[in-house]
């Protein structure tokens, strides 16, 4: 099944339903939106258009894209319009009776292969499914506001949900650009379970006189690294929603979760919180301890005592859904688990129904960090080993810990006799979007370029092990790959891509050059002229173009990608080291000729003059850092006469100079802020 050819239905055209539907349509799905009557449908359509108009005004969409999105949407008051949908998402009022009546109707009306999903944040999936004759197709998909913009979705299987329904729903979420996390069918699922008590504790701090609203707001922003504190967030999302969520959790889990009485007159008076006043910085530490203590207690209980989710998904939910820079467990590791234990112990003394989780006691008494898996490895029944990067919110960027975990994961599979071949994949919209540039900036500012060189040398050594592994290693390219990610892809024997896949080497545009084998393996794949084009212009090529020039070995539809990767992994075939090809691929003769003869100074000055078909691409070289471009060009040309090992050594040898340059700091520190101004120094 090609997921982009299926139709998705949404029942409920309010703020959530309209946003959910808009996201599906934006990502290319045919989308049907249904509500109780034509007036409700019309309001939903107006909501979508208003949001898209805002996107056009902010240049997120073009007017043509806006009309294309609306053209993929059908609005109707007739539930029969949902016939033929592969997935129908319910986004109606949080009333169990209303939801059950709707699911009873949909279950009888729609074919048994249609997956029925509830967006509930308050009820069990099992409670919604109990009225259905086919509860195996009922699942929870809990989206976060605003669903057209927030990438997080919690995927919840009920006790009778089939594996097929769960898998298909999960893949549809990934196909529409969401970041799914797996949650047990439990009160509050994952994120609301610790987020609602966080809001509640903020109110209790005010009620008890520990701090006023302005102080709690400022302390929360500073300690959690967020743009809005708890009270402003409640104002934006709706104070009654917090009251409803806390009431529901309180009924299920006890007094600690029940709503603070301070919220009732605000909701009753249809007011918002008054955020005015001057914060008292002397009280920031006390506020932070209480707020973090609540989050740490709930999160640890959620993961270790109740096993609602994994530690990694708990942190991911906070980072993606709440946009916190750090999840609960990373925050505990950073402050020290002993300090986290003290904060939770203080909380337990205050609230009789709060216990200190044993997992936190065990680690906190020794001040040992929680192990957070950023890279996972497994061996499936057919002998395929699968390595997965699990940092979708950071586009799976490489840093010291990620590379270390990748090394351990790869070495374990390479040594495992049950593993016949290895597939490397990334969660989310990227395979690997290069190295974590923040790490580079921090080391340059600390005058520790040697640490960068050690990191690169270690990564290069790991990629060399991947390169020479006797088992086939496959890059599953289902999204963006940049810099170090593209270098990792080319260290694999085979690159198998979906149409969403792309590769690029943007390093010379940020003052450095590819240092994990990119100058060497790219040339051995596509030839010196095309490697010069890729690295010196930073041009990103899609999967189709990548296949045409030799970067990609096969392009298949998204729904066939897993099977194709397994086929290559189990083929027994590996790729031997080879010299760069010396003849151009079909359709790239003119580019090959141009990049064979154009001198680097002319390229950097924009004086290629090879015709309008190529000049637009080649002009991108004029924005690159001269020192980096000179170094990269020399390394690429070296591949014609040296071994891979010698070329890799030369790459590493040049890194101290390039990372010590002014251009490197300029390019790395301005990334995403402004266009760098390179001086050639």
Catalytic residue annotation: 121, 142, 154, 192
Give the CA distances from residue 390 to residues 367, 431, 527, in Å, rounded to whole numbers and listed in that order: 25, 10, 33
Produce one character per residue of 577-605: b if its CB has 16 or more CB atoms within 10 Å, e if not: eeebbeebbeebeebbebbeebebeebbe
Closest CA to 290 of 358, 191, 189, 208: 208
Q: Are 101 and 86 in contact (CB under 8 A)?
A: no
d(CA 569, CA 469): 12
* 620 CB-side CA count, 13 A: 19
The per-residue DSSP string of 303-322 comes to IIIS--S-HHHHHHHHHHHS
Which residues lie below 8 Å from residue 330, measured CB to CB, with a gap of 6+?
Answer: 315, 372
d(CA 113, CA 131): 17
- Is residue 190 classed as helix, strand or coil in its secondary structure? coil
Produce one character per residue of 474-486: b if its CB has 16 or more CB atoms within 10 Å, e if not: bbbbbbbbbbbbb
Give the CA distances from residue 140 to residues 13, 32, 178, 206, 499, in Å, rounded to whole numbers and listed in that order: 18, 19, 15, 35, 29
φ/ψ bin of 606: left (φ > 0), alpha (ψ from -120 to 50), beta (otherwise): left
E strand or H helix at 329, and its extent?
A: helix 328-335
Task: Write the DSSP symbol of residue 524.
Answer: H
Which residues lie below 8 Å from residue 407, measured CB to CB, with a gap of 6+?
Answer: 458, 462, 465
d(CA 475, CA 410): 13
Give the CA distances from residue 251 to residues 12, 120, 123, 256, in Å, rounded to whole numbers and listed in that order: 27, 16, 11, 10
d(CA 494, CA 570): 12
């Amino acid at each position: 099944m090609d997921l982009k050819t299926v139709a998705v239905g949404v029942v409920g055209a309010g703020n959530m339903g309209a946003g959910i539907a808009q996201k599906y349509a934006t990502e290319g799905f045919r989308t049907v939106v249904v509500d109780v009557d034509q007036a409700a449908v019309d309001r939903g359509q107006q909501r979508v258009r208003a949001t898209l108009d805002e996107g056009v005004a902010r240049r997120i969409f073009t007017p043509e894209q806006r009309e294309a999105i609306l053209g993929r949407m059908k609005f109707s008051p007739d539930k029969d319009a949902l016939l033929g949908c592969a997935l129908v998402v319910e986004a109606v009022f949080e009333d169990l009776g209303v939801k059950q009546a709707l699911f009873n109707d949909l279950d009888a009306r729609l074919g048994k292969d249609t997956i029925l999903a509830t967006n509930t944040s308050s009820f069990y999936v099992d409670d919604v499914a109990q009225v259905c004759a086919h509860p195996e197709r009922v699942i929870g998909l809990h989206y976060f506001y605003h669903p057209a913009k927030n990438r997080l979705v919690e995927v919840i299987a009920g006790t009778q949900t089939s594996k097929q329904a769960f898998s298909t729903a999960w893949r549809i979420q990934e196909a529409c650009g969401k970041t799914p996390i797996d949650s047990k069918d439990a009160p509050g699922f994952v994120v609301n379970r610790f987020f609602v008590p966080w809001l509640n504790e903020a109110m209790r701090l005010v009620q008890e006189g520990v701090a006023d609203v302005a102080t709690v707001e400022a302390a929360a922003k500073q300690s959690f690294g967020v743009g809005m504190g708890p009270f402003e967030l409640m104002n934006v999302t709706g104070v009654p929603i917090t009251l409803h969520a806390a009431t529901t959790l309180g009924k299920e889990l006890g007094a600690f979760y029940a709503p603070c009485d301070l919220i009732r007159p605000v909701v009753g008076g249809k007011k918002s919180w008054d955020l005015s006043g001057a914060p008292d910085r002397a009280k920031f530490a006390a506020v932070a301890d209480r707020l973090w203590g609540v989050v740490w207690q709930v999160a640890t209980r959620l993961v270790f005592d109740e096993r609602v989710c994994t530690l990694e998904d708990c942190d991911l939910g906070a980072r993606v859904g709440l946009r916190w820079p750090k999840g609960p467990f990373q925050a505990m590791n950073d402050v020290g688990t002993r300090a986290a234990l003290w904060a939770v112990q203080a909380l337990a003394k205050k609230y009789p129904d709060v216990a200190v989780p044993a997992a936190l006691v065990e680690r906190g008494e020794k001040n040992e960090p929680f192990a957070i898996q950023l890279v996972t490895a497994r061996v499936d029944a057919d002998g395929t080993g699968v390595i997965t990067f699990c940092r979708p919110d950071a586009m799976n960027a490489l840093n010291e810990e990620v590379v270390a975990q990748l090394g351990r994961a790869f070495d374990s599979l390479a040594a495992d006799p049950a593993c016949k071949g290895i597939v490397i994949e990334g969660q989310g919209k990227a395979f690997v979007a290069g190295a974590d540039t923040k790490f580079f900036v921090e080391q340059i500012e600390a005058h520790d370029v040697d640490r960068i060189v050690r990191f690169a040398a270690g990564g290069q050594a790991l990629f060399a092990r991947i390169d020479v592994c006797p088992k086939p290693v496959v890059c599953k390219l289902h999204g963006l790959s940049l810099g170090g990610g593209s270098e990792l892809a080319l260290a694999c024997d085979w690159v198998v891509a979906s149409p969403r896949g792309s590769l690029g080497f943007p390093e010379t545009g940020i003052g450095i050059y590819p240092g994990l084998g990119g100058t060497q393996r790219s040339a051995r794949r596509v030839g010196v002229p095309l490697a010069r084009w890729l690295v010196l212009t930073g041009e990103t090529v899609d999967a189709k173009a990548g296949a045409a020039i030799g970067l990609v070995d096969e392009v298949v539809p998204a729904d066939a990608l897993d099977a194709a990767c397994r086929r290559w992994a189990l083929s027994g075939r590996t790729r031997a080291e080879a010299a760069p090809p010396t003849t151009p691929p079909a359709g790239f003769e003119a580019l090959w000729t141009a990049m064979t003869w154009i001198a680097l100074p002319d390229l950097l000055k924009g004086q290629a003059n090879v015709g309008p078909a190529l000049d637009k691409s080649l002009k991108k070289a004029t924005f690159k850092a001269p020192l980096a471009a000179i170094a990269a060009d020399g390394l690429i040309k070296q591949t014609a006469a040296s071994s891979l090992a010698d070329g890799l050594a030369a790459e590493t040898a040049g890194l101290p100079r390039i990372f010590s340059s002014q251009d490197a700091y300029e390019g790395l520190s301005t990334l995403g802020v402004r266009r760098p101004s390179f001086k050639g120094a």
